[in-house]
Structure 1
């Protein structure tokens, strides 16, 4: 179901694992910071709401979404990090740059997760317009950051 028909901040919370001792790193792209800042706030709030301790959540900034893969890898390789959440926003724009960036980031984050055998979550918006991004960063469709954090929590339940 597309996010235009779903609230990104509503999810099933049955059977969630205890995350009180888990350590999270949220890697945030600075590009489109109005959007990524709101996504970070959603992810951070959700982790706290479901049991993460504030001292076990670290924010790390990278310049843009393309750098999320490397930033995530730096922290995924650390044995004391349990999950990484990558937060970014690549808006369509006038060129095809978004296709190349989104494809590279999706593959890069997948590779990092598989290489280090831990959750590395794709919390990257890929909208056509800034308004669509804002609608998914705490607007009418909820907050993709909430969804990314919940995905990290649920994936930790697999381990």
Structure 2
């Protein structure tokens, strides 16, 4: 059975930093959206240099009006400096602000781990893949907003 909101259009923004992890997150997100009948074309997948750049790209995509939601994928692994905290905080707050500003679901599929191993575990091709979870959250939020907006339009 096709999902009732399979006709939605979703973009995916993926950080190219830590590709051994983000490629797995991307596969998980694409697989999850496919199970819902959502078609994501290669043109709908946009590369970002790193996690810090995700919010601006996601907000720009949302403002085009072409997409019902944007899934953001990245990976920040703690090193020896405070850089990890600044990038993680900037990405998370930036994505939240972009979603609120555009009233478009922009989901946070950015791993913030302490080790490479933790990141690899969360990007494996299994049910625990965090890219899969971010795609599911985006799809569910699109559905919730459509329901809310249609009910308000009728009221």
Partner of residue 22 from structure 2, selected from 15, 36, 39: 36
Partner of residue 57 from structure 2, selected from 71, 82, 86: 71
- What is the 5 A alignment of 1:1-159? 18-55=4-41, 58-138=44-124, 142-159=128-145
1:61-85 deviation digits (Å, cap 9, x = unpaired)? 0110110011111101011210001
Q: Note closer, same or farther for the CA distance 1:100–1:70 as it changes in structure 2 (3 Å cut).
A: same
Whichever structure has more helix as a proportion of its residues is 2
Moved more, 30-39 or 133-142: 133-142
TM-score after normalising by structure 1? 0.85
Q: How many residues align?
A: 144
Q: Note closer, same or farther for the CA distance 1:135–1:111 as it changes in structure 2 (3 Å cut).
A: same
1:70-112 deviation digits (Å, cap 9, x = unpaired)? 1111101011210001100000011111100111111100111
TM-score after normalising by structure 2? 0.87
Q: Note closer, same or farther for the CA distance 1:41–1:35 as it changes in structure 2 (3 Å cut).
A: same
Q: Note closer, same or farther for the CA distance 1:23–1:140 as it changes in structure 2 (3 Å cut).
A: closer
CA distance in 1, matches of 2:38, 2:126: 26
Cα deviation, residue 142, structure 1: 2.0
Q: What is the alpha-carbon root mean square deviation over aligned residues? A: 1.9
Q: Note closer, same or farther for the CA distance 1:54–1:67 as it changes in structure 2 (3 Å cut).
A: closer
Q: Note closer, same or farther for the CA distance 1:38–1:95 as it changes in structure 2 (3 Å cut).
A: same
Which structure has more relative contact order (CA 8 Å, sep 6+)? It is: 1
Structure 1: which 5+ residue stretches go unaligned? 1-16
Q: Note closer, same or farther for the CA distance 1:54–1:62 as it changes in structure 2 (3 Å cut).
A: closer
CA distance in 2, matches of 1:77, 1:85: 14
Q: Which residue of 1 aligns with 2:150?
A: none
Cα deviation, residue 140, structure 1: 7.5
CA distance in 2, matches of 1:82, 1:92: 33
